[in-house]
Amino acid sequence: MKYDNVLVLIDFSKYSDDALEAAIDFAKKYNSHLTLLNVIRDTTNLTYVLSNSEYHNLEKKFKTLSMERFDKLEVDIPELKEMGYERKIRSGTPYISCLYEIENGNYDLVFAGSHGKTNLKKALMGSTAEKVLRRSPISVFVTRK
């Protein structure tokens, strides 16, 4: 099987960093192109308490923060920049946005960390990785340490 395009789900937690490191090793071995996806959790419910301009400024701030975190990844993991990759940022419900990207992209494999940034919410609702794993039309490699 060929693994030309690999998607890595990134929430900038230690767990997604572990998944990224595994994906980099994998991509080197199989000469795969990496795409890193960060999903900014949907904040449309804030439109009830924020003005339109405040909401759009907050949305812009989240995207800027995501780009800064991608830049930091390149500093922390220099081989990422050397091998080349694509950044993608989506807004919405994380697992739904991930599945949308998987279904509309041309990916052969997905890497995800076993846990994300939240622990209590995971216990109540299940992790994003678990939901993606159950519903993904392609193979998902879940890392744990």
The domain covering 5-143 belongs, at the CATH homologous superfamily level, to: HUPs (3.40.50.620)
pLDDT of 44 reads 67
* Edge-to-edge order in the sheet of strand 33-41: 85-92, 33-41, 5-9, 109-113, 140-143
Q: Label residue 47 by pLDDT band (50, 70, 90).
A: low
Across the chain, mean pLDDT equals: 88
Q: pTM for the complete prediction?
A: 0.87
At 47, the amino acid letter reads T
Q: Label residue 122 by pLDDT band (50, 70, 90).
A: very low
Task: Please say if the pLDDT value at position 46 is more than 90.
Answer: no
